Amino acid sequence: MQIYKVGGAVRDRLLGKPVTDIDWVVVGATTEEMLAKGYRPVGADFPVFLHPKSGEEYALARTERKSGRGYGGFTFHASPEVTLEEDLIRRDLTINAMAEDDQQNLTDPYHGQRDLEERILRHVSPAFAEDPLRVLRVARFAARYAELGFKVAPETLELMRQLSESGELEALTAERSWKEISRALMEDQPQVFIQVLRDCGALKVLMPEVDALFGVPQPEAHHPEIDSGIHTLSVLEQSALHKQPLTVRWACLLHDLGKGLTPEEEWPRHIAHEHKGLKLIKAVNERFKAPKDCQELALLVGQYHTHGHRALELKASTLLELLQSFDVYRRPQRFEEFIVACEMDARGRKGLEQRSYPQADYLRGAANVARGVAVQPLLEKGFKGPELGEALKRERLKALKAYKESAAS
């Protein structure tokens, strides 16, 4: 029995990056031997075991063969005869197909170290094209390592293109897709993930609503970058630069989908794109079964982001309606995430990345004013039920009018 550290742990050590998860592969062992040593089985489809002390995953060396569609369409064969090289060749990228023994001696049959040095994301073998999930994984790695100068090899991008055109991407489950998408959006350069998906034709399969934004012009006065797709990438980039959570990044990606529905004769204006985009945002949310908080914020940002930009001009009554829509009294964090998503939208424009956004503090102040209206005096006056709600609304409107006047003076 020989045990090797494999995959990301080896890659990240060679890159000088912190190693978090460690995967191990065991060559020359049987399931019975692993059980006898106290390892606990966890793999339903292939033999993976948890170490009796560390709890880390140890997998028996295995080969795989395509047997159906999608990510799960494989049959696996594990036996003591499977070599380390046979196990490594089934992996996605050369930089993930290296192994180390306990002396840090490197096994690198597919030249992963060379590709690390040359900053190339290259597939290990033609079997890469058998697994559609790898399209998303490679795009995610491109986003993760973009800051180091990594690029997808042309021949790998071509295989990704073939996969995108094959219909295999449609076989991915919502859960698997969302896992990759959400992880990619939390990388330092998530816009690279979207760009790579577009470069290989996967974006128009997975998110045609986002793909449709590219080539759609906007008014140059407000959008020096002009192209709606480029703007979306820039907004996503800003959300990562400002370390925003997944909810905000997802909303930033989807906020302008309505612009893809604007008839060409109306370009570059996009009248009511906020409302038109809601059905598209809903469709993308449902397609990937995004978490509820991501779904809600994406819809609210899509509908109200222009309200955010015009916050200083809004009537007090419109401002109150906006605050009510977000339920700022019970969900203050959601409104804060809306504010920062609007700010990312304002900064995701060519040459305007450093602009100030006074609307943010104005909206925060308005929310504090509305929340500050006390209920107790109204109860003491005898208001209850629906009447209490209306009285509270009147008092909040009065407070917002005073706030608006003081802000203008």
3-state helix, strand, coil in the chain (%, to 5): 55, 10, 35
Banded pLDDT at 408 (limits 50, 70, 90): confident
Is 1-112 CATH 3.30.460.10?
A: yes
Q: DSSP string of 167-183? A: TGGGGS-HHHHHHHHHH
The yes-or-no verdict on residue 73 having pLDDT over 80 is no
Banded pLDDT at 75 (limits 50, 70, 90): low
Q: How far apart are CA 286 and CA 116, in angstroms?
A: 37
Q: Average of pLDDT values for 348-359? A: 97
> What are the boundaries of each domain within the chain?
1-112, 119-206, 376-408
The yes-or-no verdict on residue 64 having pLDDT over 60 is yes
The yes-or-no verdict on residue 70 having pLDDT over 60 is no
Burial class (CB in 10 A: 0-12, 13-18, 19+), 340: buried
Nearest to 116 by CA among 10, 11, 188, 6: 11
Asked if 98 contacts 108 with a C-beta cutoff of 8 angstroms, the reply is: yes
CATH T-level topology, domain 119-206? Hydrophobic Seed Protein (1.10.110)
167-221 pLDDT tens trace: 999 999 999 999 999 999 999 999 999 999 999 999 999 999 999 999 999 999 9
Q: Average of pLDDT values for 391-404? A: 96
pLDDT, position 409: 80
